[in-house]
């Protein structure tokens, strides 16, 4: 992938990589501890998980459009989600999932 495309798709990650500052601590991670049983291990987030992380309706619409373009949700499912978004608003999909939601909810 070319650098400009990567920056456009992942602006925060590109900035972090370029600056050399990473928020990830690779020493003593939870995965290193065999006694640690993570509640969300193996969870594959779906469209609802992504929508619940959105800050506004526009972000949710972008998520739906993106997943529909990639074929990860059908046009019919995308239409249902857009209708629910219009009728119930963003929180109609559930409470907002904050950063580290999966990490902190064991």
Read off the pLDDT of residues 2-48 as tens digits, 9 standing for 90 and up: 878 888 888 887 787 777 766 655 555 555 555 555 655 555 678 88
Of 28, 46, 40, 52, the C-alpha closest to 106 is: 40
**DSSP label at 23?**
S
pLDDT tens digits along 79-89: 999 999 999 99
Rounded-to-integer distance, Cα 75 and Cα 26, Å: 40
Query: What pLDDT score was predicted for residue 106?
Result: 46
Domain map (residue ranges) of the chain: 3-104
- Which carries the bigger pLDDT value, residue 103 or residue 65? 65
């Amino acid at each position: 992938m070319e650098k400009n495309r990567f920056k456009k798709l992942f602006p925060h990650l590109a900035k972090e990589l370029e600056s050399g500052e990473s928020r990830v601590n690779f020493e003593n991670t939870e995965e290193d501890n065999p006694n640690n049983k993570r509640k969300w291990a193996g969870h594959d987030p779906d469209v609802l998980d992504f929508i619940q992380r959105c800050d506004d309706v526009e972000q949710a619409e972008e998520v739906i459009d993106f997943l529909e373009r990639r074929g990860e949700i059908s046009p019919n499912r995308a239409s249902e989600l857009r209708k629910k978004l219009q009728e119930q608003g963003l929180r109609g999909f559930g409470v907002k999932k904050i950063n580290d939601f999966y990490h902190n909810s064991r």
